Each structure stands twice: as C-alpha cells, then as structure tokens.
Amino acid sequence: MSDRLFIKGTLILTLTGLASRLMGFFYRIFLSHTIGAQGVGIYQLTLPVHGIVLAACCMGIQAAISRLCASFTALGKEKESRYALLLGTFFSVALCGLFSFLVYRNADFVASALLKEPRTGILLRILSFSFPLSALHSCINSFYYARKKTGIPAFIQLLEQSSRIGSTYMIYLILISQEKEITPVMAAGGALFSEVVAAAACLLALGLNFSRENYRLLDGLLKHFHSLTREITRIAVPHSVNRLLLTLLSGIEMVLIPQRLLLSGMNQADALSVYGIFTGMALPLILFPATITNSASVMLMPSVAGLQALGHEKRIRHVIRRTCETCFLFGAFCTFFFFLFGKSLGNFLFHSETAGIYIRTLAFICPFLYTNTALESILNGLGRPDACLFHNIAGVCIRIGFVFFSIPLLGIRGYFYGMLLSQLILTLLHFIYLNRMELSE
C-alpha cells in the first residue's frame, strides 16, 4: 500500500508540476514581452528576500509539521496530528507577519543598500504582504503531504498559478486601458493576489476537513502545547538554520551577479537584461524537467523516514541506488535534449538568441542537479539535515567564488562553469556520505 501511495502521490505532483511549469513558461514569455528582460531582472532581484523570510520562518516549521503529522498519523493519533498542524502554522504565520512588517518599513533600505537597485523598493512593499499567506498555505500543504494526500496541494498549486497569471494579465489590461507605463509592479501584484487565493483555498479545504470531526481542538491544543512546542522546536530549528544560511548565501550570490557583470564591461541595463534572461528564461527551462524529481523528493522524505523508523535498512539502500540511477539517467537524457535543441527553444519560446545559448550551456548541469534534489530529500528523511547543510554550503561557496573571480573575466559564462562544478561536487559529497552511512549500518 505504501508503494502505491508513493507512486500515486508522485504521479499527481508530477502532472501538476508539469502543468504549473508549462503555465509558468507562458507567463515568463508574457513578462519578457511586456516588461522586458531588464524588468524581469528587477523583479527577480526581490525573490531572494522572499526566500530568506520563508527560510527563517516557514521551512523548518514546515518540515516539523510534516514529520510530526506523519508520525502521529501512522500511530493512529489523529488529534495530535491536527494539534501539531495548528500550533506549527500559528508560529510560522506569526513570525512571517513580523518579518512582513520589518520588510515593509525598511523596503527602501533593503532595495538600495542590499539589492543595489532602488526600483525594487515598491516591489518589496507589495510582496511583503504575501509572506504570512505563503507560510499559511505551505504549512497546510505539509499536513496533507504527511498524510500522502497530494490531491489538495496539487489543486492549490494549479489554482495559485492560474490566479497569478490571470491577475497579472488583468493588471496589464487595466494599465493599457489607462495608458500607464508597464513596470515590474504588475508581476508583484499578480504574485500577491495568487497568494491570497491559495491561502483562502487552503483554509477552505482545511475547514471542510476539520468539520467532519468533532474534536475539541482548543482544549486539546492547550493540553499538548508545551510538549508539541518542544517537538516542533527540536525539528524546526536545525532545518531553519540550514535553510536560512543557504538562502542567505544564495541571495548574496544572486545579488552579486549583476554587480560583477558590470566589471566585465557591461552597463547597468545590459547587466540586468543578462540577469533577467538567465534567471527568468534559461534557468526555468532547465528546471522544467526537475518537476519529476522534485515530486518524487516530496514523497521521498516521509517515506524514507518511515522506513528508518521500521528498521528497514536494506530497503533504504535499495531506494538510494534506484534514486541515483534513475535521476542521473534522466538528467543525461535532458542534457542531450537541451544541448541539441537549446538554441531553437530560446528563439521559439523567448525570441532570444542569448537565451538559447544559455540553455545549451546550462544543459550539462542536468544529471547532477536532478540527482542532488532527490539525494538531499533522502538525507533529510534519514534525519541528517546537518550533512545537507555542509554539502550545500560548499556548493554555494564554489559558485560565489566563480561570481567574484570568473564573471569579471568571462561574463555570465564564468558563472555557468561555477554552477557545473558546484553541482558535480555536491553529487559526490551526497553520494560519499550516504555510502558511508550504508557501510556503517
């Protein structure tokens, strides 16, 4: 039954992810044609701030909800599972609300001093309202993933993407009708509206789910408050520290790229355009096939944790081998495909020859990138977020080194070389660590 649920959940998430990413591609094409590559680059600069807030306030608690709810559900403790969801969601939303206030009040400082682009200030103010909403629907999705009920999160993902595209297009039509300038603010407004819709849908689904049961949730929650808070903290803190450090380093990396491109001889407009083509066009296309490995990874972590709890080491070793083989072969096929057709895809999808060149160059990271996603999920399932942290820090530091020293000499191509080397080393570190774990069992 467990294998069937795993396959079914992976299939649902894969189909949903493919549909969502396909919609996202058309959305990015629309953005590239309306706000331009420079506008896309300005909008992309705000995403590390969003990622840092969620890493600090949401991702660790999300992992705690997933692990605790999965454990309680397996033991038949349904009420405790719901208490863990409610308490974890409260903590996450409250923390995100605090950061939302701080970002809103200090948006101009963050835009000028940290992002080095004053035009991102208004975007940060708009996006700051989405932080608590993102936390809310992420925590609720974790509750359903832990129960291997992927239908509701899949539906909400499609609803979120649809509302993002639809609301952005409506804003575009309004601006056109009023003969106003089309700016990246349009994309930020669409992102905020999509979070409102996703959070409302999650609350509706959860309300319908909870209404079927006659639990006295408040009394039970108060009774288990201290024990659950301790458990959530024990799991969430190391995960949050891991994700926060990695997101901070990745954010620094992303912010530095346009600045280092200036040293390669580009002007400000060209640097932002190159950054926009890379982050908003080429990289999303390379990540498109990762929908399959990402979907499997979402299901891998609770599944591996369950196997470990049951003492099925042989089964875990089998999962690791099959994961490595399947993901690497799938990535190799994608490398072959993107290398052959990358230029054509760039011209056809984005009307950009530069995007095609970037896609073809990035093709070589596919086998390592897709494999690393699954291996990291396995390590987290085995309760080793510390290993993931050290390995990922090594990978990010390599990329930052290439940002500093290679981009001024080679342009954006220098960063591509850093990406390839970091993903290769990351794969080796994950594999060696897991192999040593197997030998020690």
- pLDDT tens per residue across span 44-92: 888 888 888 888 888 888 888 877 887 777 777 778 888 888 889 999 9
Kindly tell me if the per-residue pLDDT of 212 is higher than 70. Answer: no
Q: What is the pLDDT of residues 380-392, one digit of tens each?
A: 777 777 788 788 8
Percent of the chain whose pLDDT exceeds 70: 93
Amino acid, res. 2: S
Other CB atoms within a 10 A radius of the CB of residue 306 amount to: 15
Q: What is the pLDDT of residues 277-332, one digit of tens each?
A: 887 788 888 888 887 777 777 777 766 766 666 677 777 787 778 878 888 999 99
Indicate the pLDDT class of residue 263, thresholds 50, 70 and 90.
Answer: confident
Dist CA 157 CA 174 (whole Å): 26
DSSP letter string over 173-200? HHHHHTTPPP-THHHHHHHHHHHHHHHH
Contact assessment for residue 403 and residue 257, using Cβ atoms and an 8 Å cutoff: yes
**pTM recorded for the entire structure:** 0.73
Q: Where are the domains positioned within the chain?
A: 2-440
Contact assessment for residue 46 and residue 119, using Cβ atoms and an 8 Å cutoff: no
Dist CA 170 CA 216 (whole Å): 43
Q: Would you state the pLDDT for residue 6?
A: 66
Dist CA 72 CA 92 (whole Å): 20
Q: Would you state the pLDDT for residue 389?
A: 79
